A and B are shown apart, each in its own frame.
Chain A
Amino acid sequence: MNQPAKIVVIGAGISGIRSALDLAELGYKVCLLDRAPAMGGILTRLDRQFPNNHCGICRMLPMFDRDNSEAFCLRKGLSHDNIELLLSTEVTGVEGNPGNMTVTMVRQATGVDADRCIGCRECEKICPVEVPDSFNAELGKRKAIYLEVPYQRPNQRVIDLQACTRCGECVKVCPTAAIDLDMKPEILTFENIGGIVLASGTGLFNPQDTDVYGMDHFPNVVTSSAFERILSSSGPYQGSLMRPSDQHPPRKIAWIQCVGSRNPMIGADYCSSACCMISIKQALFAKERLGSDTQTTIFYMDMRTFGRDYQRYRDQAEKENKVAFVRCRIHSIEPGDEEGNLKISYVDHSGKPVNAVFDMAVLATGKDPLRKIPDFAAHPGIIATDAVSEWMDIGSAVVSASAVSERLVRMLSSAGISPEKQAAPPLSDKVAAPPHLQVVLCSCHGSLDKVLAENQLAAELKKIPGRMDIMQVKSVCDAEGLEKVKETLESGPANRLLFAACDTQVFLPKLRQLAAQTGIPKEFMDVVNLRVLAENASSPEVLGEMMQQLEMRANRLFRKKITPTDSRPIRKTALVIGGGPAGLSAALALAAQKIKVILVEKQETIGGNFANIYDAQNREMIGQLIAEAKDQPLITIHTDTEVINNAGVAGQFAARLRDKNGAEITILHGAAVIATGGGKADLPADTRADNKIISLYDLEAELNQPGMDAANINTVVFMQCVGSREEPRNYCSRICCLKSLKTAMKLKELNPDCNISIFYRDMMTYGESEKFYTQARAKGIIFIPFEKQEKPQIKIEAGRVLVQGFDPVLNEPVCLEADRVVLASGLIPNPVDVVAQAFQVSTTRDGFIREADSKWRPVDTGREGIFVCGLARGPVRADEAVQEGKAAALRALRILARDTIAASRHSAYVRHAICSLCERCIAICPFDARFIDPDLGRIMVDPVACQGCGLCAAECPNGATLIGDFEEYGVLDEIEAALG
Chain B
Amino acid sequence: MSVYAMVKDASPTVAVKAALTKLLSQNLVDAVLVAAKSPYSALPMPTLFAEASAMDGIDPLAPAAPFNAARQAATVSRQATGKRLALVLRPCEIRALIELVKLNQCTLENVVLIGIDCLGRMENEVFLRHASALGDVTSEFQKNTSLQDDITRTCQMCEQFEPAHADIAMSTLGMAENSVLFASGSETGEALLKELGLSPAENPAQRETVTKQLREKRAACKKEVFAETSEKINSIEKFEKMIGTCLNCYNCRQACPVCYCRECVFLTDVFAARPETLLRRAQKRGSVKLPTDTTMFHLTRLSHIAHSCVGCGQCSSVCPSNIPVADIFTTVAAQVQAAYDYVPGRDVQEPIPYLIFAEKQKSGEPK
A interface residues (Cβ-Cβ under 8 A, vs B): 463-466, 911, 913-920, 923-924, 955, 957-960, 968-969, 972-973, 976, 980
Q: Does B260 contact A (CB under 8 A)?
A: yes
Q: How far is the CA of A464 from the CA of B262 in the complex (A)?
A: 35
- B304:A957 contact, CB within 8 angstroms: yes
Identify which of A911, A919, A973 contacts B277 (C-beta below 8 A). Answer: A973
Least CB distance, A436 to chain B, in whole angstroms = 15
Q: Which 3 A-B pairs have the closest CB atoms?
A: A465-B276, A958-B265, A958-B261
Q: How far is the CA of A920 from the CA of B103 in the complex (A)?
A: 8
Least CB distance, A52 to chain B, in whole angstroms = 11
Q: How far is the CA of A973 from the CA of B280 in the complex (A)?
A: 11
- B103:A972 contact, CB within 8 angstroms: no
Instruction: Give B296's nearest chain A residue, CB to CB.
Output: A972
Identify which of B268, B277, B279, B354 contacts A958 (C-beta below 8 A). Answer: B268
Within 8 A of A (CB), among B313-367: 354-355
B interface residues (Cβ-Cβ under 8 A, vs A): 103-105, 260-265, 268-271, 276-277, 279-281, 283-284, 304, 354-355
**Chain B residues, CB < 8 A from A972:** 270-271
- B279:A465 contact, CB within 8 angstroms: yes
Q: How far is the CA of A782 from the CA of B25 in the complex (A)?
A: 89
Least CB distance, A758 to chain B, in whole angstroms = 43
- B263:A918 contact, CB within 8 angstroms: no
- A914:B277 contact, CB within 8 angstroms: no
**Chain A residues, CB < 8 A from B355:** 920, 923-924
Provide the main secondary structure of the chain A interface.
loop
Q: How far is the CA of A918 from the CA of B355 in the complex (A)?
A: 12
Least CB distance, A956 to chain B, in whole angstroms = 9
User: Can you report 25 A-B residue pairs in the complex whose CB atoms are below 8 A from each other?
Assistant: A463-B280, A463-B283, A465-B276, A465-B277, A911-B268, A913-B263, A914-B263, A916-B103, A916-B105, A916-B260, A916-B262, A918-B104, A920-B355, A923-B355, A924-B355, A957-B261, A958-B261, A958-B262, A958-B268, A959-B265, A959-B268, A968-B270, A972-B270, A973-B277, A976-B280
Least CB distance, B352 to chain A, in whole angstroms = 8
**Chain B residues, CB < 8 A from A915:** 262
A913-B263, A918-B104, A957-B261 known; 16 new pairs, CB 8 Å cut-off, are: A465-B276, A911-B268, A916-B260, A916-B262, A917-B104, A919-B104, A920-B103, A924-B355, A957-B304, A958-B262, A958-B263, A958-B265, A959-B265, A960-B261, A972-B271, A980-B284
- A918:B268 contact, CB within 8 angstroms: no
Q: How far is the CA of A5 from the CA of B283 in the complex (A)?
A: 59
Instruction: Give A973's nearest chain B residue, CB to CB.
Output: B277
Identify which of B103, B276, B280 contacts A918 (C-beta below 8 A). Answer: B103
**Chain A residues, CB < 8 A from B277:** 465, 973, 976
A/B pair count, beta carbons within 8 Å: 54
Least CB distance, A937 to chain B, in whole angstroms = 10
Q: How far is the CA of A924 from the CA of B354 in the complex (A)?
A: 10
**Chain B residues, CB < 8 A from A959:** 265, 268, 270
Q: How far is the CA of A957 from the CA of B263 in the complex (A)?
A: 10
Q: How far is the CA of A958 from the CA of B300 in the complex (A)?
A: 10
- B280:A465 contact, CB within 8 angstroms: yes
Instruction: Give B262's nearest chain A residue, CB to CB.
Output: A916
- A914:B280 contact, CB within 8 angstroms: no
Known interface pairs A924-B355, A957-B304, A968-B270. Does A916 touch B261 (Cβ–Cβ under 8 Å)? yes
**Chain B residues, CB < 8 A from A969:** 269-270
Least CB distance, B335 to chain A, in whole angstroms = 20
Least CB distance, A550 to chain B, in whole angstroms = 14
**Chain B residues, CB < 8 A from A916:** 103, 105, 260-262
- B263:A976 contact, CB within 8 angstroms: no
Q: How far is the CA of A241 from the CA of B22 in the complex (A)?
A: 77
Least CB distance, B62 to chain A, in whole angstroms = 31
Q: How far is the CA of A969 from the CA of B284 in the complex (A)?
A: 20
Instruction: Give A967's nearest chain B residue, CB to CB.
Output: B270
Known interface pairs A969-B269, A976-B281. Does A914 touch B262 (Cβ–Cβ under 8 Å)? yes
- A464:B280 contact, CB within 8 angstroms: yes
Q: How far is the CA of A911 from the CA of B264 in the complex (A)?
A: 13
**Chain B residues, CB < 8 A from A917:** 104
**Chain A residues, CB < 8 A from B263:** 913-914, 958
Q: How far is the CA of A687 from the CA of B91 in the complex (A)?
A: 64
Least CB distance, A558 to chain B, in whole angstroms = 10
Identify which of A464, A914, A923, A973 contacts B261 (C-beta below 8 A). Answer: A914
**Chain B residues, CB < 8 A from A924:** 355
**Chain A residues, CB < 8 A from B268:** 911, 914, 958-959
Least CB distance, B309 to chain A, in whole angstroms = 14
Known interface pairs A957-B265, A958-B264, A959-B265. Does A918 touch B105 (Cβ–Cβ under 8 Å)? yes
Q: How far is the CA of A955 from the CA of B354 in the complex (A)?
A: 9
Instruction: Give A465's nearest chain B residue, CB to CB.
Output: B276
**Chain B residues, CB < 8 A from A918:** 103-105, 260
Least CB distance, B145 to chain A, in whole angstroms = 41
**Chain B residues, CB < 8 A from A913:** 263
Least CB distance, B320 to chain A, in whole angstroms = 23
Q: How far is the CA of A916 from the CA of B261 in the complex (A)?
A: 6
Least CB distance, A554 to chain B, in whole angstroms = 11
Q: How far is the CA of A321 from the CA of B263 in the complex (A)?
A: 52
**Chain B residues, CB < 8 A from A960:** 261
**Chain A residues, CB < 8 A from B281:** 976
**Chain A residues, CB < 8 A from B280:** 463-465, 976
Least CB distance, A510 to chain B, in whole angstroms = 30
Q: How far is the CA of A955 from the CA of B355 in the complex (A)?
A: 9
